Amino acid sequence: MSFDITSAYTDYTYNINVYVPEVDMPEGGFSVVYVLDGSSYFQFVKEIVRLQSINAAKTEVFPSIIVGVGHGEDMRMRRFYDFTAPAESYVYPEKYRGAFDGQHGGAENFSRFLEEELKPIIQADYPVNTNKQVLFGHSLGGYFALWQLFNASASYHKYIAISPSIWWNNHELFQYADTFLDAYSELNATLFVGVGGLEEFMVDDAQKMAQQLGKAMGTTFYVAPDENHGSVVPTIMSRAFRFVNN
């Protein structure tokens, strides 16, 4: 199923795709995975879950509802707004300087869209287990997944951050992590952080973040050998979705 929803918080129209497994519903409902950059990843995630859950005893990937949250034709620029945190000032890497014109810092409103507008629709229309909700993001989407964890950890029970853009705004996510760990000594939520072995400094960033957060929550860190920023997602998905069900 596919539908559009215009958010009152972001003043933007998102395309939502929903996959519901054609199997008997488990007790309490299906786990639900919210996939950021749904225009790119929804179909891929759907097929991984559909195919591998046929033999769940071996794959450890079980039937789940998949919700893809997609942008329109302006996806490339808009995601810099929706997925990044507000800040008093921004420090850009050289290659990005002058490229944004202030089109960033909308994470708070995007989070409200997910929590207050999209999730109620999904929970009303589909057999969702609200105690088994997962947030998946890659790159800037991975940044947002971590930001959401730091600001509203109870929103999801599992977080998947693939090649998260921890570099954004002078590595501000490490400051968020420090504040977060000061407030929580132990969490029920768990985190999967994955990165491609060829992603250079992003490997060190991801590993440092996983180690830091491992002090307070269950954290899995995985480096996919010989993969880069563009190739890492297909390589790492099966491992990430086994994490969803473990």
Residues 65 and 22: their CA atoms lie apart, in Å, by 10
Q: 40, 108, 117, 229: which is the annotated catalytic residue?
A: 229
Closest CA to 68 of 30, 32, 37, 112: 37
Both structure tokens of 190: 């768990």
Packed helices 140-151 and 75-82: angle between N→C axes, nearest 10 degrees: 20
Tell me if 30 sits within 8 A of 127, measured CB to CB.
yes
Residues 32 and 134: their CA atoms lie apart, in Å, by 6
Answer left, alpha or beta for residue 21, where phi above 0 means left and psi between -120 and 50 means alpha: beta
CA 115 from centroid of its chain's CA atoms: 14
Closest CA to 161 of 200, 194, 205, 190: 194
Annotation marks residue 229 as catalytic: yes
Q: 31, 163, 199, 227: which is the annotated catalytic residue?
A: 199
Packed helices 168-183 and 201-213: angle between N→C axes, nearest 10 degrees: 10
Q: 139, 153, 163, 165: which is the annotated catalytic residue?
A: 139
Active site residues: 139, 199, 229
